[in-house]
Amino acid sequence: MSGFSLSRRGLLVGASAVGASAALSACGAKTGTESSSGAGAKADTSGSTVKVGLLNSLSGTMAISEVTVHNALLLAVKEINAAGGVLGKTLKPISQDGASDWPTFAEKAEALIKDDKVVATFGCWTSASRKAVKPVFERYRSLLFYPVQYEGLEQSPYIFYVGATTNQQIVPALDYLKKQGLTRLYLVGSDYVFPRTANKIIKAYAKAKGMTVVGEDYAPLGSTEFSTITNKVKSAGADAVFNTLNGDSNVAFFKEYKSAGLSAKSLPVLSVSIAEEEVKSIGTQYLEGQLTAWNYYETTPGAANTTFVKAYQAAYGKDKPTSDPMEAAYISLYLWKEMVEKAGSFDVAKVKAASDGILLDAPEGKVTVDGATQHVYKTARIGKVGSDGLIEEVWNSGKPIKPDPYLKGYSWASSLS
């Protein structure tokens, strides 16, 4: 039994695909097509086992976030195998450490595709790592399932974006702040593609919506020096801070924030890359009352989430929290499984063609794959960090939001893409 319930349609599709795939799996072909340079993905599906790639930072500054994503992927593999595998084949996870280094991510991605002959890869966190591996997956025509919210303005035929795009996280977060009367923003982020692009979007929104950006600062990824930035934030006259720091820089930032006499009550921070695992690592005493924007929290109500949290904590410890990126990584394997079984094949082109309309009753709620963009419909949620370290939802969008990675539905964003 999986860690969440599939829709009735998903069950019917999966069941019919298994029968149709029997003859295919017996043939033992290597799937994928050749590019003009002769570098095609040659996933080995010839035996009773197929390999899936897990590509995460298990060391370095991003390990604070990515190790738990890796654990959630392993949990999904274990559950899927216990339920009979995919098209009757057992999944064998092959883990590679991106080591918080973008060239290493590209190197490891190529190794998974060429040497390990994986049928698909699941992972990456930062947009820098995704940008580094994107040409690798496109060159070899192999699939990456990316589990983390990102800055949008991207689409690749070989990436499925399972985390939120901009109109499912950043835009709802700005709408929420505006409704709370918090219209003077200070932007703090790590110095790489996601924060800089996100802040470009935030400034376009602010200009059109009567908000003001009173300051903007970046720190190198992994930086632990934030005294200068927090002093600037303190004196800027902001109503709120919009935080796009990533990794363990958040530990140093929030400790310095409190040291400077700032708090959620005096100057709230809304973060888009701090989830339950980071709260635990940073310390609840530094984060209580602060805001986050995600699509899932450990406290999200529903039977599917209760099952997921119990399964994760049974595997990794009762004190281990779940989080949005973990949940998105976890369901990414199930989404891929449903695509494969609907296609009746591991072939990349057939899997892509089968993706549209795949629906799961996931821990975060209903998610549906939009085949045109290879993103998913997701419910936006704003949360507040509690004294127990958990994040309690204070607002949600009411229903899943259609992905709009290029913000085509927003007139104020016309100059961004």
Pairing label, strands 375-377, 365-370: antiparallel
pLDDT confidence of residue 42: 84
pLDDT confidence of residue 41: 65
Give the relative orientation of helices 324-343 and 63-82 as an angle to the nearest 10 degrees: 40
The 10s digit of each residue's pLDDT in 362-400 is 999 999 999 999 999 999 999 999 999 999 999 999 999
For residue 301, give both structure tokens: 């109500």
Alpha carbon distance 234, 178 (integer Å): 20
**Average pLDDT for consecutive 10-residue bins of the chain (417 residues)?**
38 32 34 42 92 98 95 98 98 98 98 98 96 98 97 97 98 98 98 95 98 98 95 98 95 97 98 94 96 98 98 97 97 98 98 98 98 98 97 98 97 90
* DSSP 8-state class, residue 301: -
For residue 284, give both structure tokens: 């609840």
Q: Would you say 410 and 167 are in contact if contact means Cβ atoms under 8 Å apart? A: yes
Alpha carbon distance 350, 108 (integer Å): 25
Write a three-state SS string for 314-326.
HHHCCCCCCCHHH
pLDDT confidence of residue 39: 53
**Predicted TM-score of the model (pTM):** 0.88
The C-alpha angle 349, 365, 150, rounded to 5 degrees, equals 60
User: Which residues are within 8 A (CB) of 369 and not within 5 positions of it... i.e. 6 or more apart?
Assistant: 160, 335, 339, 355, 356, 357, 358, 359, 375, 376
pLDDT confidence of residue 331: 98
pLDDT confidence of residue 391: 98
pLDDT confidence of residue 263: 97
